[in-house]
């Protein structure tokens, strides 16, 4: 029996090695992964221990860990590993195997997180894009958490962030549902492609090649699922911002959900094939640059593009499922990258109402800067490009320590208490350093800092209300837009007064 267990452990270790590219014997247990983990204090086996279990072939013990269901996928562990190990990818691989084999923790967190991921992916399989109301309904039925966020839901319905008719009419469904179905089917089949071996090396940040966008340009647009729903104001402000800056957006036709956290947390191949279809669609349209305002969407698209360029087997699977080829020509960029590419001098020409006397904490979160060898966006420990844009608009920005600390990411439903703990630490540090509001470039960050703020303040009692602005809202307002016009009034934390009458 012991020999059988040993062989099974080695087989599973090899499977994880193929997915992550890790040379597990290179891990010398320095503990940096656990030291930086935002959820490490909640885990029975924190990242350091998980890596040791896999290294020793004790994979079944790792699979039974509660830790897998507290991991927020922020990639802090991977970005800081001195041996270049993909620790976050290891957690994803373990979670996928645990679900496949039924070797799972009995912890409540597992049940809640699994219910969210299953509900999310079933929704994508059915519609091609996320229908947020039906996602929440499915999650609540699975968890019996019927009263959770009832007040927030009513507010979203009133503000038009949730439209009950969307799921019923199917008007926003992807037309190529046969392709989506084929992608899900392909994701269940074993593949022959493996991640390249990650060799120990000193990780140093190298910025990507400079991007230039000329005034009057037309660029591609991938809004992602949340910008047509709960993050509707982000879409409104991005479109207005681009209009005021003289840019035209061309939406990718029939785009689909990128899979977000739920795909990469449960099925590695699915997390690549879903965004790969968007890559192929953008390439087919001849797009060079595609704006993806959601940091999670951009991150998944960047990772898929890199995998497609490195892996001919993945390209063959994409073509078999969709009939399309990905050339990799289209590059997906975020809002701050777009503004940087346009240039501070060009932006300054359009500023009509400088954001003077506004003190902001620029919150980058996780996925704008990690993994830094793929995103190549900004310094992964102290990014400053958002500050540069806002200072061009006349705003003041604070120097603070939590700009890249995770807010809980996509676990806002399944791990509400943890999200409130994490956002409290973020808000407390921002206020202590003089910030009166946040600037963000991600709808997940916005949801956790804005929607969860009331509950967080009630729990801790020592934080003042802090409005949370999308960077696109601030640019549009500085360029002359009325704050009401860019839907600032739709936020949970009142945000109109601070940017009105400037």
In sequence order, the 6+-apart residues with CB closer than 8 A to the CB of 148 are 140, 413, 416
Q: How high is the pLDDT of residue 206? A: 86
Question: The domain containing residue 473 runs over which residues?
Answer: 351-499
CA gap 293, 251 in Å, rounded: 12
Q: How high is the pLDDT of residue 141? A: 87
Last residue of a domain, one of 101, 132, 163: 101
389 within domain boundaries: yes
CA gap 186, 183 in Å, rounded: 5
442 within domain boundaries: yes
pLDDT tens per residue across span 31-90: 999 999 999 999 999 999 999 999 999 999 999 999 999 999 999 999 999 999 999 999
Last residue of a domain, one of 45, 75, 101: 101
Tokens of 198: 């990650």
Tokens of 274: 């879903």
Orientation angle between helical segments 268-284 and 312-322, nearest 10 degrees: 70
**Cβ atoms < 10 Å from Cβ of 331:** 19
Q: Are 259 and 296 in contact (CB under 8 A)?
A: no
19 within domain boundaries: yes
Q: How high is the pLDDT of residue 172? A: 83
Q: How high is the pLDDT of residue 203? A: 79
pLDDT tens per residue across span 428-438: 999 999 999 99
359 within domain boundaries: yes
Q: How high is the pLDDT of residue 168? A: 61
24 within domain boundaries: yes
67 within domain boundaries: yes
Q: How high is the pLDDT of residue 160? A: 80
Q: How high is the pLDDT of residue 412? A: 86
Taking each continuous run of H as one helix and of E as one strand, the counts in the chain are 25, 8
Q: Which residues does the chain have with pLDDT short of 50?
A: none
CATH assignment of the domain containing 38? 1.10.1060.10
> 502 burial class (0-12, 13-18, 19+ CB within 10 angstroms)?
middle
Q: Are 207 and 179 in contact (CB under 8 A)?
A: no
394 within domain boundaries: yes
> 434 burial class (0-12, 13-18, 19+ CB within 10 angstroms)?
middle
433 within domain boundaries: yes
Q: Cα 218 from chain centroid?
A: 25
Q: How high is the pLDDT of residue 411? A: 87
Q: How high is the pLDDT of residue 243? A: 98
Domains in the chain, number: 2
CA gap 236, 127 in Å, rounded: 23
- What is the value of pTM for the model shown? 0.95
Last residue of a domain, one of 101, 117, 136: 101
């Amino acid at each position: 029996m012991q020999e059988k267990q040993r062989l099974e452990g080695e087989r599973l270790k090899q499977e994880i090695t193929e997915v992550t590219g890790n040379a597990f014997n290179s891990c010398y247990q320095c503990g940096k992964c656990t030291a930086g983990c935002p959820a490490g204090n909640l885990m029975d086996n924190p990242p350091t221990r998980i890596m040791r279990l896999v290294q020793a072939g004790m994979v079944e013990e790792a699979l039974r860990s509660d830790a897998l269901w507290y991991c927020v996928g922020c990639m802090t562990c991977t970005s800081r590993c001195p041996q270049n190990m993909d620790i976050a990818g290891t957690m994803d691989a373990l979670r996928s195997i645990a679900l496949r084999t039924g070797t799972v923790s009995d912890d409540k967190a597992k049940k809640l997180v699994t219910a969210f991921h299953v509900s999310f992916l079933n929704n994508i399989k059915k519609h091609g894009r996320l229908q947020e109301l039906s996602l929440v309904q499915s999650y609540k039925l699975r968890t019996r958490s019927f009263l959770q966020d009832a007040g927030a839901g009513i507010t979203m319905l009133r503000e038009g962030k949730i439209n009950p008719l969307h799921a019923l009419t199917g008007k926003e469904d992807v037309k190529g549902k046969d392709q989506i179905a084929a992608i899900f089917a392909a994701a269940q089949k074993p593949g022959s492609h493996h991640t390249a071996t990650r060799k120990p090396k000193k990780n140093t940040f190298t910025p990507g090649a400079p991007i230039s966008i000329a005034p009057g340009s037309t660029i591609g647009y991938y809004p992602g699922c949340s910008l047509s729903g709960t993050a509707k104001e982000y879409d409104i402000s991005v479109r207005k911002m681009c209009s005021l800056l003289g840019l035209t957006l061309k939406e990718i036709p029939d785009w689909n959900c990128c899979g977000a956290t739920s795909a990469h947390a449960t099925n590695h191949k699915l997390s690549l094939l879903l965004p790969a279809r968007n890559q192929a669609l953008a390439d087919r349209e001849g797009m060079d640059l595609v704006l993806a305002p959601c940091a999670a969407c951009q991150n998944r698209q960047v990772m898929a593009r890199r995998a497609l360029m490195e892996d001919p087997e993945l390209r063959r699977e994409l073509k078999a499922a969709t009939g399309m080829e990905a050339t990799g020509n289209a590059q997906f960029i975020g809002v701050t990258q777009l503004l940087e590419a346009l240039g501070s001098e060009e932006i300054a020409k359009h500023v009509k109402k400088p954001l003077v006397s506004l003190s902001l904490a620029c919150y980058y979160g996780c996925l704008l800067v990690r993994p830094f060898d793929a995103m190549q966006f900004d310094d992964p420990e102290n990014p400053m490009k958002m500050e540069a844009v806002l200072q061009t608009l006349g705003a003041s920005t604070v120097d603070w320590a939590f700009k890249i600390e995770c807010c809980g990411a996509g676990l806002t439903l399944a791990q509400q208490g943890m999200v409130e703990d994490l956002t409290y630490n973020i808000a407390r540090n921002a206020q202590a350093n003089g910030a009166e509001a946040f600037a963000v470039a991600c709808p997940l960050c916005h949801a956790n800092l804005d929607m969860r703020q009331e509950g967080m303040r009630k729990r801790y009692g020592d934080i003042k209300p802090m409005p949370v602005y999308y960077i696109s809202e601030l640019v549009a307002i500085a360029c002359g837009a009325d704050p009401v016009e860019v839907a600032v009034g739709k936020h949970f934390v009142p945000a109109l007064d601070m940017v009105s009458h400037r």
